[in-house]
Structure 1
Amino acid sequence: ELSCSLWQPVLWDLIQREEGAPALEVLVQVLTPLSRAWGLPNPLLRQVPMSDGQALQSLASRLMGRFPQLTPQLFVDLSQFMPFMAVSDIMRVPPALLANESPPAPAALRHHSAHMKLVQKSAFAKLLLQAQLLGDVPTWRPGFLRTIQPLLPHLPLRCFVQLMPQQIQGLADGWQEVRLGLAQGRHVAHSLINVSRGAGDEQVHRLGALACYLSPEELQVLAPLRDPLGPVEQSLLACAANGVLSQHGRVAYALADLLRSTGLAAVGPQELRAWRGIVPELGVRFLQRLSATQVRALLPELQAAHLTPAQLLSSYCLLPFVPLKLLHLDAATLLGQSGRFWELPWSQQQAQFLWRKVEAGTNVSQETIRALGTLAAGMGCASLQQFSRRADFLGVLRVLYACPSSLPGSLRRCVWEEIRSRPGLSGEELVWLGPKFLMDLPAKLVDKLPNDSVKLILDYVSSHPQSLLVLPPHRRAALAHRALRLLRAPAETEIPGEVLDLLGPLLGFLGQEAAAHIQPESLLLRLEELQGACLAEGFAEELGRLLLTERVLGPPQCWSLLDVQQLGRLVFLLPVESIRLIPREVRSSDTLEQLLQSQREWEQSEPGRLCQPPGAQGRVRSRKEALVAWLVRSSPVGAQDPVPSCADMRATYPAAWSAAQITSMAPSHFEGCLGLISQDPALSPEQLRAALGKAKQLFGTAQPLQPVHVLQLGLLATQLSEQELQELELSNWGALSVLGVLEGWTARQMRAMVSSFLRQSGVSVQGLALLELAALGHLLCGLHVDEMRMLNSREFSQAAPFVGSLRLGCSERQLETLAELLTSRLAFGPVSSWGPEIFTEIGTLAGEGGRVERGSGTLGKVVFSPAQLLGFTSAQASAVTPQQRALLSAEQSQAVASAQHEGEVAQDGRGESSAPCTPCPQQLLLHVPGRAPHATAAPPLASSPVTAGHHLPWGWAAGHTGSALCIL
């Protein structure tokens, strides 16, 4: 096969030898007709293992480097490598090849675009904009726009504003085939409306799916929503189903109002399935009106985005979430079905646990590691030391770093201990070991990397930006500054746009001083890209300053709507006083909704959750308040604040409105926004109580509250009285699971609920099994200490990963009692016998395990050994307070410092690092849990659809939590 023939030595030899260039060109030109003869558009695009994918990227880079003068035909011949091209290779393509709208080069670009990554399309788009021969955007021919159609979503908003109506009209239905951003789509839709000022039907037909980009006010003028089967309504429903239309937006609300008023008897199964994107907004009353047949037709279309612990445990097909005590897989099964498990997002403790099983049952080789995939991250230091004595140690490292998952900090430290004990690696060996290995280098060695190694890292992070988010901040900064030194000419006083493009995701980790040298004008073409990037605090602060300079956007009081639209969520980087100066006419309800929606989508995305540093939410909240102040507060002094409609609340966010304003809402508007209100973690207790009062009015006077009401209440339930909680029907697992994952309960509330559950279910404390314990969650703190001692240790140890991921509001004595259960023979046994997988498995309860054995003559000192402390992640070790350090021996303190900085920072005599740490509150020295800012194994799952703002780190991994183990 062609993909196999590429690995033949002759090809690599031709790449390396200067005199082989003519023969190599002939060989490459053979590839394209051969591909067509086989009837395959691109045989290289068949799924290949990760290591082969990296080899293809390396091959593409080498081929591009061997042909400095690309002709149109040679570009076409090499075009099948486009999906493997690095940004640096794309930027070397002569722009003239893409500027010609006739075949062959632009046609090849369009042909292979379906297989290209977003970063590659973005690079080609930037290449187009750098081509001076293209001229200004208004001069681009419609034919050229059709040619570059796949790149259109990656062009800056300024380009769309400059497009002439005839250009937009010339692309016709081509706009429907690309997924534009909200602001881009709106400009295109407005232009199409303006050029077809005939009958409304003609405008509707021309818009098609582009109607999804219009505001509610524009839709009302164009085609008021009247018929669920109408063309505009059908387009909106399709956009809601595929995620283009925000579920919590004003358009979705208007669409939901229409569907609620529809006679359901005449709605067939197919039509009902088309409503799936709006169903969450239709409310409980609507769902209760559906017939059994309609429910059966709709259920397969609904995907639960969030699972509670009990739901999770009820589905054992979700192997990466199974507790260690129930993970009954042997070495033969793992190796016999390696393809099935290769990329599963195993948690760190599962990987460690299963690795030990494999190691005990087979002779581990390079091929074994390759077959295990993500499980290879569970290798222990002792295993690595065994490999280090073999001649193929570097080969083992290469395979290990080619696996899909990241290595835990303890294993990375072990790698470098072994590397330091060997002769220095050559530049060729460093490149051969791969980019993930290079990114794990200690910061002090990053500065000494050869240029080829730095280029490899740049190419890798451009395609895998999240790989940076698992690294400690100081290492990200070291990589960014080393890359800048490679790309920036020594004589340059400013960092030009081309360098920003090549830095890729590393740009956001430049320090404040380096960021100050960015060429301001270059930011205008890259604002959309920066909106999706992780920005370190210093860089973000400097970027906010640069945006306000005359060379970028200038003073905010002079901004236009375009300026604000270009900024998107970057507006929340500006100082509060600057946000207040933005003209009110620019901050319309529609604009507010766009900006806040973009920030919300970022925060809820996987990169956004991994990127946000502690305290970031508070800083953003003050900027949000400044942005919406004119809408939510009365301007005249002494005047009454406005009463929000549901549309107003959707244009902003629930916590923006006071308790009095929430109380004043019309019942129908409150009902339409109850789902949104119940999920807002920023609501104060006063606002929660006001919303709870409105919800009770909505539900009626019937007592007690039904399970369906509890599911609707979400966070509001934390304001129910003890009497109301005792009357809840808690034998219903759905309601119990939702209540169990909520934070903020008082001890009396938790006691009321757990007592009610035991009474209603007829289950004794001794009989509580894994599923009940996981569903109870926080409510376990409602048990008395003597009741906790009666829990089944075996069952509790199985529920430990779920209970240990919560910020339990138990007393110190309760937590110690729970920890005692974990050290029993039926659970995990004595702490001294625990391996690293158990510490990670039990999470926040691990600290109590360290206190249980203090009666053995070690009062005042912890029983965790230096080896166990060394196994902590950097964030866990950072959570140790100075008071806790004072109790440590020299060896223990050295282990904590080494774990905190992965052996990179010199310590003082007590083992303390000069770098700052994140201390735990004094009153929570033993049991401060925390949410994972840099979790890397499985994506955090929200507790339930009504508490989606509360994410739980079910899969703990390297770089776990900043405050999860205040254990000493």
Structure 2
Amino acid sequence: MDSLRNMIVQDPHYFLLLPSTKQAVLVEKLVQRLDMYTGLYTEEEFRSLGVMATFVVDEIFLQLDRSFFVDGLEFLRGFCYNTNKRALVAAMLQEPKTFGPVQDWTSETLNQVDRFLFFLPKETIQLIPAGLMSLERIERLYLSQKQWERGEIGSLCGQKPSELFDKQQFVLQYFLGFLSVGRSTFTGLIPTCESLHVTQPVAWSIDSLRNMPPAAFQRCLELIGQDPFFSAFQLSVLLTKTKEVYGLPSSFTPSVISQLGRIATQLSVEELASLRLSDIQSISAMGAINMWTSRQLKTIFSTVMNSTRKTPSQLDSSSIVALGHIVCGIEAPVMRTLNAVEFSKAVLWLGRLRLSCSEEQLQVMIGLLSNRLTFGPVSSWGSEVFIEIGAIAAGLPDMSMSALVRVQIEGISPLAISLIPAGKFAVVFNQEQISMFTYEQAIAVTDAQRSALSPLQETALSMVLNPWENKPVDFRGRSLGVAVHPCPIFYLPNVLILLLLLR
């Protein structure tokens, strides 16, 4: 146990890549051995666990030595915190023995608290003295959060980008007065392009972005277009601003088109048809967007064909890769005319996308990939083919999918698993095949898919998700326990955890 703990402390990378369930079980075992359930959670104990220190149960975390909490706040800011732990940290920050009520905080306090300020509830944040929260300080808070997210630990914490965004946006808009009733926007509240890079475009009010000088808006168009949090209404306002700066969509240059990002989704079908999509850069930019309607996708594909003056059969692998999500705008009969060899070269990229293609379109893609000049019949595919085609495996015909064996199932990506229609999933995978899933595949099973399973299929899935539970089930006359599969050295932590659970 001590060797395992030291290994994780010295190289936390693999621990942070584990599913949260495995992380919790592992830390629970270590904590039991260290007898940490009673008394103070000391600095020595915290440091001995390394990156695992914030993964202890809440009851233990609450006992964290407050003197260490205050003195080591900069050190503590480097760790991962789930939703519950963030709430606990927020409460600790306001205790009389630490920093007290936020109304009494000073500039020095805010410097210490730093990005932990985003852990506080909105109603508490409002009580911070307004004079302390200048734009400069807010920008420093954003920078601190970004630096952590890009760091060795933060980049692996598995935190959803949206979890803290709402809080960050509130901090900026509240203290800059955007949320004050009756307060009108003035020049001082219009962001510079540099401020947008430090914070985030959507953190500002849509009026402040609309009132940006044309030159500043031009410099930041790509950054604004890539922001994932703008609503459809906000994107529509930004498109209007773009037209004011650059003119009608028909006059947009390839450079402008490639910078539009999600703003382009607000273009009408007629405007999409008027674009010039002849170069790979602008096609690729449009193909990277996953918010198109089926009608828009069909229009964009037709526009690409008209602009390049090519037929679908003439598209090479580079062009198909550039199309990205736009491939779902190719109607199934037309898709059958694609060059199978060129399509197979592009599938490594396409298979990583969550395509919005219909089941018929995905089946046509499988037909192209099972051509004798590409991967050959599905029955001959090994795990390496399934790994390469990624999500497109969701288009396998029912008969082919129900005949898959272990070596093939091992190659199916979790994304492909999640894209299989619920009714089809329950029909094509029997309980024995489901028991062959990896944990990552099993966790990708959607609620709709799970609700369609039989009790036996459900049990098989539960065995994969919770291998430490004793659920003996007879599949084909065999009593199955926890199976240990051969795996390469970079899966060593999973093996150690499994051996630990079997002790």
TM-score (norm 2): 0.80
Matches within 5 A, 1:155-554: 454-487=1-34, 493-554=39-100
Of 433, 439, 447, the residue aligned with 1:874 is 439
One-letter code of the match for 1:687? Q
Q: Distance in 2 between matches of 1:562 and 1:780?
A: 55
* 1:597 Cα deviation after fit: 1.7
Query: Is the 8 Å Cα contact of residues 243 and 249 (structure 2) preserved in structure 1?
Result: no
Q: Distance in 2 between matches of 1:665 and 1:585?
A: 26
Q: 1:910 to 1:666 in 2, by over 3 A?
A: farther
Q: Distance in 1 between matches of 2:164 and 2:290?
A: 22
Deviations 1:744-788 (A, max 9, x none): 112222212211222232332223232121111000011111112
Of 619, 638, 646, the residue aligned with 2:182 is 638
Deviations 1:701-745 (A, max 9, x none): 684211111122233222223233223332211111121111211
- 1:802 maps to 349
Q: Distance in 2 between matches of 1:505 and 1:670?
A: 41
Say yes or no: does 1:611 pair with 2:157: yes
- 1:570 maps to 116
Deviations 1:868-891 (A, max 9, x none): 545543232123245534655777
- 1:695 maps to 242
Q: Distance in 2 between matches of 1:665 and 1:802?
A: 37
- Tell me the C-alpha RMSD between the 2 structures: 3.3
Q: Distance in 1 between matches of 2:450 and 2:202?
A: 40
Q: 1:754 to 1:835 in 2, by over 3 A?
A: same
Q: 1:461 to 1:567 in 2, by over 3 A?
A: farther
- 2:415 maps to none
Deviations 1:836-877 (A, max 9, x none): 333332222222215364899x98854456665455432321
Q: Distance in 1 between matches of 2:399 and 2:177?
A: 54
Q: Distance in 2 between matches of 1:634 and 1:823?
A: 57
SS of alignment partner, residue 396 of structure 2: helix
Q: Distance in 1 between matches of 2:427 and 2:383?
A: 17
SS of alignment partner, residue 524 of structure 1: helix
- 1:813 maps to 360
Of 270, 273, 278, the residue aligned with 1:723 is 270
Q: 1:899 to 1:621 in 2, by over 3 A?
A: same
Q: Distance in 2 between matches of 1:497 and 1:860?
A: 49
SS of alignment partner, residue 693 of structure 1: helix
Residues 549-558 or 603-612, more deviating? 603-612
- 1:771 maps to 318
Q: Distance in 2 between matches of 1:829 and 1:711?
A: 37
* 1:635 Cα deviation after fit: 6.2
Query: Is the 8 Å Cα contact of residues 115 and 145 (structure 2) preserved in structure 1?
Result: yes
Of 543, 561, 569, the residue aligned with 2:107 is 561
Specify which structure has the bigger relative contact order, considering alpha-carbon pairs within 8 angstroms and separated by 6 or more residues.
Answer: 1
Q: 1:860 to 1:594 in 2, by over 3 A?
A: closer
Query: Is the 8 Å Cα contact of residues 707 and 728 (structure 1) preserved in structure 2?
Result: no
Of 901, 905, 908, the residue aligned with 2:469 is 905
Query: Is the 8 Å Cα contact of residues 512 and 541 (structure 1) preserved in structure 2?
Result: no
- 2:298 maps to 751
One-letter code of the match for 1:768? L
- 2:167 maps to 623
One-letter code of the match for 2:343? F
Q: 1:558 to 1:688 in 2, by over 3 A?
A: same
Q: 1:750 to 1:701 in 2, by over 3 A?
A: closer
SS of alignment partner, residue 552 of structure 1: coil
- 1:791 maps to 338
Q: 1:697 to 1:789 in 2, by over 3 A?
A: same
TM-score (norm 1): 0.44
Q: 1:866 to 1:791 in 2, by over 3 A?
A: farther
- 1:884 maps to 449
Unaligned runs of 5+ in 1: 1-453, 912-936, 939-957, 960-968
Q: 1:596 to 1:809 in 2, by over 3 A?
A: same
* 1:823 Cα deviation after fit: 4.0
Query: Is the 8 Å Cα contact of residues 495 and 518 (structure 1) preserved in structure 2?
Result: yes
Query: Is the 8 Å Cα contact of residues 236 and 263 (structure 2) preserved in structure 1?
Result: yes
- 1:679 maps to 226
Q: Distance in 1 between matches of 2:401 and 2:65?
A: 60
Query: Is the 8 Å Cα contact of residues 484 and 503 (structure 1) preserved in structure 2?
Result: no
Q: Distance in 1 between matches of 2:337 and 2:352?
A: 22
* 1:670 Cα deviation after fit: 2.3
Deviations 1:599-634 (A, max 9, x none): 233334564343224xx4333122113312334444
Rg bigger for which structure?
1
One-letter code of the match for 1:757? V
* 1:522 Cα deviation after fit: 0.9
Q: Distance in 1 between matches of 2:241 and 2:13?
A: 42
* 1:654 Cα deviation after fit: 1.3
Q: Distance in 2 between matches of 1:882 and 1:544?
A: 33
Q: Distance in 1 between matches of 2:181 and 2:451?
A: 55
* 1:895 Cα deviation after fit: 4.6
Query: Is the 8 Å Cα contact of residues 496 and 519 (structure 1) preserved in structure 2?
Result: yes
SS of alignment partner, residue 129 of structure 2: coil
Query: Is the 8 Å Cα contact of residues 663 and 691 (structure 1) preserved in structure 2?
Result: yes
* 1:515 Cα deviation after fit: 0.7
Q: Distance in 2 between matches of 1:865 and 1:768?
A: 39
One-letter code of the match for 2:387? T
Q: 1:626 to 1:657 in 2, by over 3 A?
A: closer
Deviations 1:296-351 (A, max 9, x none): xxxxxxxxxxxxxxxxxxxxxxxxxxxxxxxxxxxxxxxxxxxxxxxxxxxxxxxx
Q: Distance in 1 between matches of 2:3 and 2:361?
A: 52
Query: Is the 8 Å Cα contact of residues 426 and 452 (structure 2) preserved in structure 1?
Result: yes
Query: Is the 8 Å Cα contact of residues 894 and 910 (structure 1) preserved in structure 2?
Result: no
Query: Is the 8 Å Cα contact of residues 765 and 790 (structure 1) preserved in structure 2?
Result: yes
Deviations 1:368-401 (A, max 9, x none): xxxxxxxxxxxxxxxxxxxxxxxxxxxxxxxxxx
* 1:908 Cα deviation after fit: 8.2
* 1:809 Cα deviation after fit: 2.1
Q: Distance in 2 between matches of 1:544 and 1:712?
A: 39
One-letter code of the match for 2:182? G
Q: Distance in 2 between matches of 1:718 and 1:700?
A: 17
One-letter code of the match for 1:624? Q
Q: 1:861 to 1:625 in 2, by over 3 A?
A: closer
- 1:708 maps to 255
- 1:159 maps to none
Query: Is the 8 Å Cα contact of residues 27 and 56 (structure 2) preserved in structure 1?
Result: yes
- 1:601 maps to 147
Residues 878-887 or 705-714, more deviating? 878-887
Q: Distance in 1 between matches of 2:389 and 2:195?
A: 44
Query: Is the 8 Å Cα contact of residues 655 and 684 (structure 1) preserved in structure 2?
Result: no
* 1:486 Cα deviation after fit: 4.5
